[in-house]
Structure 1
Amino acid sequence: MTTLLISDLHLNPAAAEITESFLGWLETRARDCDALYILGDFFDAWIGDDLLDLAGSDPTGHADLAVRVAQALNDLAQRGTAIYLMHGNRDFLLGERFAERAGATLLPDPSLVSFGDQPVLLMHGDSLCTRDDAYMAFRAQARDPNWQARILGMPLGERIQLARQLREQSGEANSNKADDIMDVTPDEVVKVMADYGVTTLIHGHTHRPAVHALDIDGKPAQRIVLGDWQPGHGWEIEVGNTGKPELREIWI
């Protein structure tokens, strides 16, 4: 049994090299895996599943990208790989229609899974950054079903413009924040892991790949952080028969 986990690909038409690397990775590295978990920010932005209807007529290229990626994932699923998608802070509007098109299952954040006989907590990671008050306020708004319904009720053109504005605002805001504010809050990590009774947490979001040793209620524990993908390389976690997650940088 082989399970692979990835996060933070930020797929978008302007980063074609990353898209091609990912599609190649699906056909090689992931081809025979039993399960694939994508832990958020798979797309750099997602404005609604009705984007799929614009394939062939969307001048921005987002629709064609979405359809192509969904088909590639579905091809993998048809070969027997279980695929799981988790929302990130960029693609929180990913819905059941895209998941069905991709042959995938949407996972709540956080999700408790088992690798071997070990319980493991999976998260995107943004909810752990509790020192970033401005972001946490936006996150609460963006996860509100009523707010999401209002956004999805807007014409596609307005949603595309809104997504662009949100990305620009996020970039400007982050440039003025201290690094530790945008990283996870250590006390929140310990609290969440203790609440779920786990000694292993896997997440992305921060773009700071590492394995952190922790102590949870007197037990040795670990927080494994997936890195983001860049042209030519990315990050994955492999879980083999032992059930032990192994973080590695991959060159594609």
Structure 2
Amino acid sequence: MHSAVVAKEGSENFEIASERTLYPYVTGTSVIGIKYKDGILMTADMGGSYGSTLRYKSVERLKPVGKHSLLGASGEISDFQEILRYLDELILYDNMWDDGNSLGPKEVHNYLNRVMYNRRNKFNPLWNSLVLGGVKNGQKYLGTVSMIGVHFEDNHVATGFGNHLARPILRDEWHEDMSFEEAVKLLEKCMLVLLYRDRSAINKLQIAKITEEGVTIFEPYSLKTFWKFSAFHNPTKGAEGSW
């Protein structure tokens, strides 16, 4: 994960052997998170793209962090695994104090902000966009951080294509006292919009929730799709001069 400088014997020339992630290889697409009446809901599909090929169809990108937080990631899967190792060490170190306290979602989000920004400053970024949500002491928290350390909190957040196509739907239809069922339907609507427009998306998705009681990651399931729209059959109709 670092760059090594190697000098050739008897020469003033240097070779730079790069050992860091220069290009993302296996990647996941959008993650969407929203607040609802009892806590936080998050969803992501289970596709893993090898370049432009949808190679893997059972990649889990929603993971619990400690007692109070839930993390979702889009982008490079191996870098996400590296982030999970960082968080395992953080939670273990926190537990070693044995002081009856535990890290909340705000603290974990701040930690991720620093990690992503630090790696960006070393020109060795982790190629991920992250969504971090949680509940502690009755307070709901939801935030996001990009691969260069740009971060913010909101009532609903999304990464990737979701930030462009799902956020307008969420702005129109989200409200603070949504029930679990209403929130799931809204997330499914957003994921269906993404499925029809994002070539890297698949219809197999996972939903996770976090409340005061803890994290629940539900079994994967598939959205029903409809591909008989006339625009799908003749996508170039009316496009004069197209190929």
TM-score, normalised via structure 1 length: 0.30
Pick the structure with more strand per residue: 2
Q: Larger Cα Rg: Structure 1 or Structure 2? A: 2
Q: Structure 2 length normalisation: TM-score? A: 0.31
